Structure 1
């Protein structure tokens, strides 16, 4: 069972979310809040697996509230404005529901959440590097796929997913880049908020780009010094 909290300053919106949640067998509504301060007060004493959070609220917006919540608190944002979508994914957003929220769209988000929590409960812990240190297992769709580290060219962030680009093809997995980066062997290097590369496949550095095969990947200013320091140590 996935416990939920709903926060929205509009009572009708809260009622709609309550109705939607009641129709999903694996969701359990634990609390309804009507502003950010009610949420903070509740979470001082309790925890929930998931928050359905309105973005446009008086005094403190959903985005602002997200910055004071635990870093790994899963959130699904709700709003009447699609312009917030990309920003929402930067604040623990598992999904983004555009009002008026149909049950069909809500059910899709619920399924995504169920997959997310199922993935977290997978028995193999890749933070322990003494287990299967030469490969990783990822859930892609309904499959669990084994990928050898030596075949991975690079990782590319795609909203709340990561695209693993390997010699044998692509795999799209539900994972955050920061979590992934901590699990990888030392031959993988972050060069951009959206890219982690396998330095074994790095062929050239051209201006602010890394060349891997025929693909040019950008190097952002925040990661450039680390990359150049690595190159200097290998310079002949």
Structure 2
């Protein structure tokens, strides 16, 4: 678990970051600070390993605050202004998030933080999926979500996460694509570095794209031959 701190003077922006943090199973939000003075007290307590730090704060700026903390403090800057990017690199920040911050971009940044603060052990060999079961449970945030295999349209890779997409929901899971690929039954096929598709739900194939309306999934050269071999037995 990585204890983190949000330093943000805009309530809506702070609320959005807190919502994102709650969706990441290895992040623990300690506190939200609305000014640099309060933040400095928390940082000096040594409780927070990761700080989401807004640059434009009243009084002491986020950039100035970053220069006051120890070199080992991990920081992800958040700001609406791109011109601070160069200065952020001088503080050895992990990442620089430009508002409005999307969930995907947030997950990329915290994935970098996790690699530094919480190195993942090598994954044990995955057991073959139970072919007799038509559903499974998977951990997403603090929940165990029940999903049917035949409901999953495709899987999209998001750095240290994958997103399982059905007709009604998108479930974000802390797994890498190769882990997810090993856990899925044969009707799922990797077609791109960032995509696994359910062969049973493909509507059509047009050149280098698979249509799973409304999604249009690219087929990369690396996976094209294997994909075509998988569907060859179904060609008439």
Structure 2 length-normalised TM: 0.50
Structure 1 length-normalised TM: 0.50
